[in-house]
Every structure is written in structure tokens, then in C-alpha cells.
Amino acid sequence: MHWIKDVLRLHHECGRSQREVARSCGVSVGTVNGLLRKAREVGLGWPLPEDLEEQQLHERLYGTAAGSQQRPRREELDFAAVHQELQQRKHLTVQLVWHEYREEHPDGYSYSQYCELYRAWKASRNLVMLQQHKPGEKLFVDYCGATVPVYLEAGVREAVVFVAVLGASSYFYVEASWGQDLEAWVGAHVRTFEDLGGVPEILVPDNLKSGVTKACRYEPVTNRTYREMAHYYGVAIVPARPYRPKDKAKAEKCVQLVEQRLLEALRHERFESLWELNAALQQGRERLVARPFQKRPESRRELFEQLDRPALRPLPAERYEYAEWSVARVNIDYHIVVEGHRYSVPCGLVQRQVDVRRTERCVEVLHQGERVALHARSRQRGGVTTTAGHRPKSHREQGAWPPERMQQWAGTVGPFTGEVVSELLDRSQFPQEQYRSCLGLIRLGRQIGAERMEAACRRALHYGTVSYRSIRTILDSGADRKPLESGTRPVEPVEHENVRGREYYEGPSADGSKED
């Protein structure tokens, strides 16, 4: 209301007519007439007091009229409540809200003034903060919404386009892949770092499931593989807030640029492999980054060389090796199942939950952050990979005695023991059936010594009673210490017409019947 003083000055001091004053101040003649009338009513003359400010002058003219109802000031209107109600109720209009307002304040704002104040309030709530990006600090990553068809022999397949853009220079990287899975997502980051020739300080991704397993405004949970990759390169991950695209405005703008200037320019091209598509994308990118900005003379590449490249941190000596994490529970056989293959872990972790990290070459098992097993990765489904040290002691002893080693041990004890072990192993069509008997003899030999074991085996061979139980009985009774009876031979089978013989009980005769 700065024109109030101008109206009073031009009328009283300069002696101008009301029409001339109205034309000079840009107001209507009625407004000038009403102002002068108000000034006379409140006894306000000219010159005005020097300490009288605009707000005080306005209050003296319009705030003390007898019997008038003062209109609520702009800041007194609760536009926040009005806006919330308009959002919640589909058919509610601003005009209806204004009618309700005028019923409470008959001398309030007109409908046009009310709408203008409401629009100004909404504009003040939607302010956009100008972001200043530090060189080499942030890399914004996202996928384009548009896909590109690739014509393969098996049919048409859609390829997605990954975009990464630096904050300070707006220099960007682009590549196509078959999907947005974890391996493609992490691999695109690795190739982006290598293309840039360095690593930024912060990654700002969208809430893609491959990168952020649980989106949250305050405590987002990132994928473990994605987090491991970032830790390897020494970069922090700060995801954009859910439903806040302005947090990654650089990425949104770059996606729009790639879709409009790059993908649309390739719409008439026919790609028969992903390699051809990526080659075309790189050529188009080189043209875009070399083109100057519309409002500044530099190009993205020039700004990248000046600002971002010197600020990027160096790459590690070796490339990150992609690894996937999973959780497994140790079975009672002290093995875990990974992709259909069983890998052993220390037997003390039976029924425990462990973390599994698998790369292209190996499978690593961790418990409470410490590695407890490491195996070469196998693609054989149903196969077993076992480390001997993971077995319990009893299992190690049993599994450490193949037939060759059993015979070797028996030969060191003596010839009779060697003959007993050979006879046991040759007795059955399946040698595994006699392993426990041989292991029992080995344990007995350790307990009693080679001399007594050799004597017991000699006696068992002499009487034709070769078995673990027979030798154990000989040792328990002390018969091994007794001399063998001279001339004693194993009992020969008796041949008599009333003795049926062993063959009778072994099976039917050649014609399928048994003789009576």
C-alpha cells in the first residue's frame, strides 16, 4: 500500500485533482476519493508524521472504522487445512470453500482475491531448492523407462537402458542390458567407474529392488551384494527418498535427455545383438557429451575434464568380482545346499544358520562374520564337495581307511593278519560290507599289539573261523597264547548218503526242484 502516501502528497502538497492523482498512482478515481474521505474521517492531514510507517498508516485509515468487521489477513487464512480437505474430498471445490468462508466473514476477500491468495500459498509450499553439486561427489544412477527391441534369431527381446550421471558436470554413461537383475545392476556400476576412470564419493540410486531391498525415508536397507561392491570401491550409497524424484533430479533429467535425444534418434535402426545396440549408444553419447549446453559455452565433456575427473578417486588395482549372498542352514550331515550342490562346513555348526557368498569360482561360508569354509564352486547338481577336516573324528577315521590302506596295515602286522584281511575283503561281492570288520581288527591290533593279533589270526585261519567276532573271542579268552595242537586240521566235511550237504541249502537244482 505504498501508494497511500503518494495519493496524499499529490493531492495536498501538489494540488492535483483526484483524476490526475489516480492516473499518476495507477489506481481508480473511486479509490482516491475513498482514501481522501477516510483520511478526513480519522483526522489525518498533511504532512504526515515522520515516524508513521506504511502499516501504521494503513491501520489508522482502515483498521479503526466504527462498526466495520475487519477482514482476516492472508496469514490468518488456514490454507493448509483447505488444501488438505480439497485433496481428500474428490468433489469439493475452491468456490464452495470460499462461500463457507464468506458466511463467517461477510466483509472478507472476494472470490478472485481468495483464489489468488490460495495459488500464492501453494506456490510458496512447492519451492524448489537449487542444488549445488560438488565436483566428484555424487553419481546419480537409474534406468530409462523406454526399452529398445533387439531382433535375435529366437525372436524379439527388449533391452533396458542404464544411465549414470555426475552431479557437477552432467557427464553421463549409458549402456543396455537384458534386465534389471542384481548382476546387471552391479556390473553396470563397475563399467561406469571404469569408463569414468575413477570413483565418486556417493552413489544416489532410485529404490530399485536390485539395489534397495527395503525402501525407507530414514533407514533404507540396501542389497548386500550392492553394498559389498560399494565398500570395495570406497563409495557410499545414499538412496533417494521414496516418491521424491527431486532427490535425483539429475538422473531424471539425464534419463529424459537419453530417451529424447538418443533412443528416439535410434528408433529406425534394427539391432540384432546387444553388442550392436551398445555400440550405437556409445556413439550417440559421444555426440551428446561433446555438444555445448544451451545456456553456457562448455560441453559436458569439457566440464567433466575440468571439474569431475580431477576430483574422482582412483580405481582399485583389480576389478570387483561379482558375488551373490544367501543364507543357508547346516544339515545334520554337516553340509549346506547351494544351487543343488552340497558343500561341507565344520561339524560343530550343525543346525546353525550361515551366510553363503558365491562368486564365479568359489563358494565361501561365513558364520557370525568369520569364514568357516571355502570350496571351489561346482555346477554339478546333486554332487557333494567335502573337506576331511569338517568331519567329526569318528567319520574321519572311517573314511580314511580305503581297502588298499587296510591291506597295507595288515601286512605290517604279519602274514597271517594280512591273509585274514584279504580273505574278509574277498569274501563278498561288495567289499564295503566287510569294511567295519576290518576296521574292528585294526582297532584290536592297536589295543593288544602286533604279536597277539598275529597269533589270533593264525589260530582263526587254522580252524577256518575267519571273522571279527571269532578273533575277538580268541583274544578275550587268551587262546592266542596257547600253542596250536599238532596235527590238528580244520574239520573236513563228512560225506554220507544221509548227509544232504551244503548245496542242498544254497538253492534249487538245475531243473528247478530239490531232491528229497
> Given this model, what pLDDT does residue 67 score?
38
- Give the pLDDT mean for 270-291: 93
Least confident window among 19-23, 251-255, 444-448: 19-23
Q: What are phi and psi of 470, to 5 degrees?
A: -65, -45
Helix 435-448 and helix 468-477: axis angle, to 10°?
20
288: CB partners within 8 A, 6+ apart: 257, 261, 262, 300
**CA atoms within 13 A of residue 89's CA, in its CB half-sphere:** 12
- How far does Cα 118 stand from its chain's mean position? 44
Sheet of strand 341-344, all strands in order from the earlier edge strand to the far edge: 335-338, 341-344, 384-385
20: CB partners within 8 A, 6+ apart: 10
> For residue 77, what pLDDT band results from cuts at 50, 70 and 90?
confident
Least confident window among 193-202, 403-412, 488-497: 488-497
Asked if 436 contacts 428 with a C-beta cutoff of 8 angstroms, the reply is no
What is the rounded (10 degree) CA torsion for 354, 357, 362, 364?
Answer: -30
Query: Which grid cell is 368?
Result: 557370525
Asked if 424 contacts 433 with a C-beta cutoff of 8 angstroms, the reply is no
Q: Does residue 64 have a pLDDT over 60?
A: no
Helix 54-62 and helix 29-41: axis angle, to 10°?
80
What is the rounded (10 degree) CA torsion for 303, 305, 310, 312?
Answer: 80
What is the rounded (10 degree) CA torsion for 345, 350, 356, 362?
Answer: 10
Distance CA 344, CA 332 (A): 11
> For residue 403, what pLDDT band results from cuts at 50, 70 and 90?
confident
Distance CA 237, CA 218 (A): 13
- Give the pLDDT mean for 171-183: 93
Strands (E), 93-188: 138-143, 148-152, 155-166, 172-177
Question: Three-state SS for 362?
Answer: strand
Least confident window among 126-130, 355-359, 512-516: 512-516
Cell 564365479 sits on residue: 360
DSSP state, residue 49: P
- Give the pLDDT mean for 473-486: 84
> CA of 408: how far to CAs of 50, 102, 403, 442, 467, in Å?
121, 109, 9, 11, 19
- Give the pLDDT mean for 420-447: 80
What is the rounded (10 degree) CA torsion for 467, 470, 476, 481?
Answer: -100
Q: Higher confidence at residue 221 or residue 287?
A: 287
For the chain, percent of residues with pLDDT exceeding 90:
33
pTM, full prediction = 0.57
What average pLDDT does the chain have?
Answer: 83
Beta strand 353-358 pairing with 324-329: antiparallel
Does residue 47 have a cis bond before it (omega within 30 degrees)?
A: yes
Query: Which grid cell is 496?
Result: 554220507
Beta strand 341-344 pairing with 335-338: antiparallel
Query: Which grid cell is 29?
Result: 478515481
Beta strand 221-222 pairing with 212-214: antiparallel
> Given this model, what pLDDT does residue 263 score?
92
